[in-house]
Copies of this chain bind each other. A is one copy, B any other.
Amino acid sequence: MAWEIKNDRPVYIQLVEELETRILNGTYTVGTKLLSVRDLAGEAQVNPNTMQKALSELEKKGLISSRRTSGNYITDDEKLIRDLRTELASNEVGAFCGKIKKLGITKKETIELINKEDF
């Protein structure tokens, strides 16, 4: 699985975003155990401390829970996952439309551009 970490924004933020997306889109299965901090850091080619920081952010959001000597586990609260997914999508749409509107692009043009995209 690809970890595309750039250096235009804090790495730990990008890790939070990637992990959150994987939980919300089902790449990581509800209730299952994550790779260890060290292994995740290895996969993403970042320092374990940075991955640890990202995981602690996810725990604040309730998306994972850590069992000290066993590992980090994805939440089994499916409603939380659905709600966060909806909220994230809504935020993305709002931010995108705000930027596009400010550029003076119409809604009609925007939808035409999106229709050309592949998804």
Number of interface residues of A (CB under 8 A): 31
Closest to A111 in B: B111
User: Is A3 part of the binding interface, using a Cβ–Cβ cutoff of 8 Å?
Assistant: no
Residues from chain B with a CB closer than 8 A to the CB of A101 are: 119
Q: Distance in Å from the Cβ of A89 to the closest Cβ of chain B?
A: 5
User: Is A47 part of the binding interface, using a Cβ–Cβ cutoff of 8 Å?
Assistant: no
CB distance A90 to B115 under 8 Å? no
12 additional contacts (CB under 8 A) given A88-B103, A89-B105:
A21-B103, A24-B103, A25-B104, A26-B104, A89-B109, A93-B110, A93-B113, A97-B114, A100-B119, A101-B119, A107-B119, A110-B114
